[in-house]
């Protein structure tokens, strides 16, 4: 019997295999799908990179090279193990000082090159590596040579200026002396006739009158010099007051500007001659000249001596000009040779200083033969870091290798997202609010799409969108060139957000096509209108409006709404309801991300007592409102949603009457209202009491000490729990939960209302665009005058560019920013992490630039 069964099974195997064949194919298909999913690269932007705390034990002889190689790699963030020490107590303080001194010398060279009007080499000259000691000697020699040349040049320039001033004083003061001698007799006769008859006045007659008398003409003396033109008036007043008017002051413009050797600026000067009498007046005048910075030069009264001195001065000026030119050429040649190597030297000194600053963060071990360092690195970079350390050991000919091992960490690791040119700008938008906590969900993944889309909802006009698109394409096309240039603050911000601008412009074109607005003008792009006017004009106040005579317009708003009586009510209703739908959808996304965060961190309390009641509360009220909006759109009902939502709270049991949108609406409203009421205590009370119970169970009996506690127990218990189990404060936890619950309940209302800014800004943009088009462009085009038309076109272009494309863009950008930072991110995003800042030469160069 058994033999027959075996034979039967043997013959039935092919049939069974045929029956299993579809299942086998299905299993193979599922396995291939699983393998495909497993082989997909992980979404690096959703969660920050997994980090690990590592320790390095580096021999002293290979420490510098190892840190240099890690700086080139740029994937390790060192921890400062000497935070309690001041900068002057650290090991490599002398090397840091030397690098700082070399940086000062290089800045001095750069300043001198820019003052000389020379250009330093943009591309560094490739030459063999120079040791730091050799570079220090070279820089000291160059600085000494340059300072000496500057000192000699300054002395020669000062001598040249003095001779130039002397020449001007000789030319101008000689003319004053000749003219004063010619007019002396005439002035004396006039003064004698008009003044000397007064006996009282004779006793107090002025010095000039006394000097002009032939009896005492020999006592007249003078001082000549030169002063800045800006000080001449104050100088004259001071002389007049000091001598009590007993002086005669002549002045004349020098006619040439003279270079100030200190500021290297050209200064206008005035030549003066002061006539006076007496040694006391002379002393006062010289002191005043010194105080005002006036230079005094002796001028002989003899004309022949003046000419001889003038010839000597001109001869010396010619010699000094030749000497100054030769010195300037030699100085420029030295600066040019320095400029060829300046960028390379600055980069080298910058790197060396960064290396020694990093070495100062490490600790010496007990034997003083090794340096111990700790730092954070991404897990994917461990192999690269180990390879760099092995190269450093080999290149430094060290007999001992560098020890690299992973440590356990108590504190939270830094947050590191690998971004590219496209995603970096969106990540910066999120980080401006707060850096993500380690491994929490990153809003930037969704911000890439939602941010430009919400911007476009407020900005929607496909004409304006095309203008923004052209600007974004220009920035992207010139990306490689602009990346190497030093841009202004505004241009740098615009260039950094070029891909944000690109998506904003594309979504603006899309939303503009939905709104059917091209610089506020509608077009029949997707076919004919579904409506026609009942009367001659749709905007007539007595008209019954539009009547439908064909199928709906295929895409976007029907162009016939433009100019009709119903335009504003229709668009307001559409955009207001659309804003609520978008807002509720984004807030639900935020709450859903809080669920994924709780699942990722294995926090079941947050799922049960935070995610679930929040979803229930939000969707019982505003999710229900969104459902009513969609049903009203689909059915064409005339129900008043304001009335429905208000009386849902005031009298939920009353009959809805004409406002009923579907069967069973009233009992559904009662259930949703009860669920919303239950969700509030559900959020508030369970979590603090459960946390208190878990804490008391975990640490029960340990408040009296831990005698006899095994090492196994210590290993099982988390470090954070061992350190912080005594810090649990129930009242603090309860108050925090209460604040969080109240904030969510109130925020559900206020955040939904906040999304109405999408409607308000879209309406404002559309109305502004309409005003500029109708009241400026069309009004100017109504005149049969080319000048008026051109003026109207210019005003329209100016208003479009500066108001609609700049101010409105900035306004919509800021409002979209607020919607993401407050309404979206506060549902799940903590933002209390800190950024991963690795030791990297590339980042140091960017910061210096």
Count other C-beta atoms under 10 Å from residue 223's C-beta.
22
pLDDT in tens, 374-424: 999 999 999 999 999 999 999 988 888 899 999 988 889 999 999 989 999
Annotated domain spans of the chain = 45-81+362-416, 85-179+218-350, 575-699+731-756
439: left (phi over 0), alpha (psi -120 to 50) or beta: left
Task: Name which residue leads in pLDDT, 483 or 837.
Answer: 837
- Comparing 298-307, 401-410, 751-760, which segment has the lowest mean pLDDT? 298-307
- What is the pairing mode between strands 266-276 and 77-78? unpaired
What was the pLDDT predicted at 763? Answer: 92
| Gap between the Cα atoms of 212 and 201, Å rounded | 16
Is residue 96 within 8 Å of residue 360, measured between CB atoms? yes
Question: 296 has which bridge partners?
Answer: 225
Work out the average pLDDT over 128-143. 84
Residue 313, helix vs strand vs coil = helix
What was the pLDDT predicted at 2? Answer: 46
What was the pLDDT predicted at 730? Answer: 87
State CA 320 to chain mean position distance: 51
- Any residues with CB less than 8 A from the CB of 586 and at least 6 apart, and which? 450, 755, 819, 823, 824
pLDDT in tens, 344-383: 899 999 999 999 999 999 998 777 789 999 999 999 999 9
Res. 492 pLDDT band, cuts 50 70 90: confident
Task: Name which residue leads in pLDDT, 210 or 787.
Answer: 787
Angle at 787 between CA 786 and CA 792, to 5 degrees: 100
pTM surpassing 0.95? no
What was the pLDDT predicted at 25? Answer: 62
Question: Which tokens in the block code for residue 654?
Answer: 């009353």
Is residue 534 within 8 Å of residue 558, measured between CB atoms? no
Work out the average pLDDT over 322-328. 90
| Gap between the Cα atoms of 573 and 436, Å rounded | 38
Residue 247, helix vs strand vs coil = coil
Question: Which tokens in the block code for residue 746?
Answer: 């109130």
Instruction: Tally the C-alpha atoms within 13 A of residue 27's C-alpha that lie toward its C-beta.
Output: 5
What was the pLDDT predicted at 185? Answer: 41
What was the pLDDT predicted at 230? Answer: 87
pLDDT in tens, 605-631: 999 999 999 999 999 999 999 999 999
The share of the chain scoring above pLDDT 70, in percent, equals: 82
């109207």: which residue's tokens? 792
- What is the pairing mode between strands 403-407 and 370-378? unpaired
What is the largest distance, in Å, between two alpha-carbon atoms of the chain? Answer: 171
Work out the average pLDDT over 507-526. 90
pLDDT in tens, 814-836: 999 999 999 999 999 999 999 99
Is residue 270 within 8 Å of residue 229, measured between CB atoms? yes
Res. 585 pLDDT band, cuts 50 70 90: very high
What was the pLDDT predicted at 429? Answer: 94
Q: Is the dihedral of CA 830, 831, 832, 834 positive or negative?
A: positive
State CA 474 to chain mean position distance: 21
Is residue 439 within 8 Å of residue 50, measured between CB atoms? yes
pLDDT in tens, 35-45: 655 555 555 68
- Any residues with CB less than 8 A from the CB of 375 and at least 6 apart, and which? 53, 54, 56, 76, 77, 78, 79, 839
Res. 248 pLDDT band, cuts 50 70 90: confident
Work out the average pLDDT over 128-152. 87
Q: Please state, in angstroms and as integers, the Cα–Cα distance from residue 707 to each residue in 702, 714, 717, following that order.
A: 9, 12, 16
What was the pLDDT predicted at 191? Answer: 39
Work out the average pLDDT over 251-273. 79
What was the pLDDT predicted at 484? Answer: 80
What's the full length of the chain, in residues? 849
Fold assignment, 45-81+362-416: Alpha-Beta Plaits (3.30.70)
DSSP label at residue 358: H
């003083």: which residue's tokens? 368
Burial class (CB in 10 A: 0-12, 13-18, 19+), 430: buried
- Asked if pLDDT for residue 22 goes beyond 60, the answer is no
What was the pLDDT predicted at 106? Answer: 93
Is residue 460 within 8 Å of residue 758, measured between CB atoms? no
574: left (phi over 0), alpha (psi -120 to 50) or beta: alpha
Burial class (CB in 10 A: 0-12, 13-18, 19+), 329: exposed
pLDDT in tens, 522-571: 888 888 777 777 666 655 544 456 677 777 888 888 888 877 777 888 88
| Gap between the Cα atoms of 818 and 824, Å rounded | 9
What was the pLDDT predicted at 703? Answer: 45
What was the pLDDT predicted at 700? Answer: 67
What was the pLDDT predicted at 52? Answer: 94
What was the pLDDT predicted at 24? Answer: 64
What was the pLDDT predicted at 682? Answer: 94
C-alpha dihedral, 194 to 200 to 202 to 207, nearest 10°: -100
- Asked if pLDDT for residue 754 goes beyond 50, the answer is yes
What was the pLDDT predicted at 540? Answer: 53
Work out the average pLDDT over 740-745. 92
Helices (H), 292-397: 303-359, 382-395
What was the pLDDT predicted at 466? Answer: 94
Residue 750, helix vs strand vs coil = helix
| Gap between the Cα atoms of 834 and 97, Å rounded | 30
End-to-end CA distance of the chain: 93
- Comparing 191-200, 438-447, 540-549, which segment has the lowest mean pLDDT? 191-200
Res. 307 pLDDT band, cuts 50 70 90: confident
- Asked if pLDDT for residue 778 goes beyond 70, the answer is yes
């019997």: which residue's tokens? 1
Burial class (CB in 10 A: 0-12, 13-18, 19+), 452: buried
Work out the average pLDDT over 83-89. 87
Nearest to 164 by CA among 83, 259, 34: 259
Residue 252, helix vs strand vs coil = strand
Count other C-beta atoms under 10 Å from residue 582's C-beta.
18
The pLDDT mean for the chain works out to: 82
The share of the chain scoring above pLDDT 90, in percent, equals: 42
What was the pLDDT predicted at 722? Answer: 42
What was the pLDDT predicted at 726? Answer: 52
What was the pLDDT predicted at 414? Answer: 95
């Amino acid at each position: 019997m058994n033999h027959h069964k075996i034979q039967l099974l043997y013959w039935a195997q092919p049939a069974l295999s045929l029956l299993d064949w579809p299942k086998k194919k299905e299993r193979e298909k599922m396995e291939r799908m699983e393998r495909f999913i497993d082989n997909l690269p992980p979404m690096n932007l959703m969660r920050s990179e997994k980090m690990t705390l590592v320790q390095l034990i580096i021999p002293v002889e290979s420490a510098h090279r190892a840190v240099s190689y890690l700086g080139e790699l740029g994937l390790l963030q060192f921890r400062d193990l000497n935070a309690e020490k001041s900068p002057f107590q650290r090991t490599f303080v002398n090397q840091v000082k030397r690098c700082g001194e070399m940086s000062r010398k290089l800045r001095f060279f750069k300043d001198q090159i820019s003052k000389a009007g020379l250009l330093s080499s943009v591309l560094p000259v490739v030459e063999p590596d120079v040791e730091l000691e050799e570079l220090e000697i070279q820089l000291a020699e160059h600085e000494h040579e340059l300072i000496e040349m500057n000192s000699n040049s300054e002395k020669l320039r000062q001598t040249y200026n003095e001779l130039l001033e002397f020449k001007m004083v000789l030319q101008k003061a000689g003319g004053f002396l000749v003219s004063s001698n010619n007019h002396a007799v005439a002035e004396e006769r006039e003064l004698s006739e008009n003044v000397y008859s007064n006996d009282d006045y004779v006793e107090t007659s002025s010095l000039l009158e006394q000097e002009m008398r032939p009896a005492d003409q020999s006592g007249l003396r003078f001082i000549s010099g030169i002063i800045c033109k800006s000080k001449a008036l104050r100088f004259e007043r001071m002389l007049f007051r000091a001598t009590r008017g007993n002086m005669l002051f002549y002045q004349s413009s020098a006619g040439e500007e003279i270079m100030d050797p200190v500021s290297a600026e050209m200064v206008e000067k005035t030549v003066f001659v002061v006539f006076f009498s007496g040694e006391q007046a002379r002393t006062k005048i010289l002191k005043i000249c010194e105080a005002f910075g006036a230079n005094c030069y002796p001028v002989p009264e003899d004309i022949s001596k003046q000419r001889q001195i003038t010839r000597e001065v001109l001869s010396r000026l010619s010699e000094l000009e030749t000497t100054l030119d030769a010195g300037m050429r030699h100085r420029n040649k030295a600066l040019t040779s320095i400029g060829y190597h300046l960028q390379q030297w600055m980069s080298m000194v910058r790197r060396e200083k960064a290396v020694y600053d990093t070495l100062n963060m490490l600790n010496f071990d007990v034997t003083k033969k090794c340096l111990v360092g700790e730092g954070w690195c991404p897990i994917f970079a461990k192999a690269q870091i180990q390879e760099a350390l092995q190269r450093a050991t080999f290149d430094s000919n060290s007999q001992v290798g560098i020890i690299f091992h992973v440590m356990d960490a108590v504190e939270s690791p830094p947050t590191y997202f690998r971004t590219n040119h496209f995603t970096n700008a969106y990540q910066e938008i999120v980080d401006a609010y707060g850096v993500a906590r380690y491994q929490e969900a990153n809003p930037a993944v969704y911000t890439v799409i939602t941010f430009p889309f919400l911007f476009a909802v407020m900005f929607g006009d496909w004409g304006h969108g095309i203008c923004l698109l052209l600007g974004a394409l220009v920035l992207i096309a010139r990306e490689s060139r602009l990346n190497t240039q030093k841009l202004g603050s505004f241009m740098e911000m615009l260039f950094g957000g070029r891909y944000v601008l690109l998506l904003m412009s594309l979504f603006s074109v899309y939303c503009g096509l939905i709104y059917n607005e091209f610089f506020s003008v509608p077009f029949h792009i997707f076919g004919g209108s579904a409506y026609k006017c009942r009367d001659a004009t749709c905007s007539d106040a007595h008209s019954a409006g539009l009547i439908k005579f064909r199928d709906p317009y295929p895409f976007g708003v029907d162009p016939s709404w433009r100019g009709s009586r119903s335009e504003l009510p229709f668009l307001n209703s559409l955009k207001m309801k659309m804003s609520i739908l978008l807002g509720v959808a984004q807030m639900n996304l935020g709450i859903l991300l809080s669920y994924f965060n709780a699942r990722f961190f294995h926090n079941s309390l947050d799922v049960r007592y935070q995610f679930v009641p929040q979803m229930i509360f939000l969707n019982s009220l505003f999710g229900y409102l969104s459902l009513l909006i969609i049903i009203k759109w689909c059915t064409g009902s005339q129900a008043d949603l304001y009335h429905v939502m208000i009386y849902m709270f005031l009298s939920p049991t009353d009959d809805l009457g004409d406002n009923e949108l579907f069967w069973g609406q009233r009992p559904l409203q009662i259930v949703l209202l009860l669920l919303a009421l239950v969700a509030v205590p559900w959020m508030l009370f369970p979590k603090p009491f459960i946390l208190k119970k878990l804490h008391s169970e975990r640490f029960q009996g340990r408040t009296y000490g831990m005698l006899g506690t095994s090492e196994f127990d210590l290993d099982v218990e988390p470090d954070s729990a061992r350190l912080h189990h005594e810090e649990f404060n129930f009242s603090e936890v309860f108050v925090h939960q209460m604040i969080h619950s109240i904030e969510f309940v109130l925020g559900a209302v206020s955040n939904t209302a906040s999304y109405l800014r999408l409607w308000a800004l879209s309406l404002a943009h559309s109305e502004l665009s309409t005003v500029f088009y109708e009241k400026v462009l069309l009004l100017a085009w109504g005149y049969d005058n080319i000048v008026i038309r051109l003026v109207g076109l210019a005003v329209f272009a100016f208003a479009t560019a500066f108001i609609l494309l700049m101010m409105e863009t900035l306004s919509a950008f800021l409002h979209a920013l607020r919607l993401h930072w407050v309404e979206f991110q506060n549902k799940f995003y903590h933002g209390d992490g800190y950024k991963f800042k690795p030791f990297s030469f590339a980042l140091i160069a960017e910061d210096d630039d």
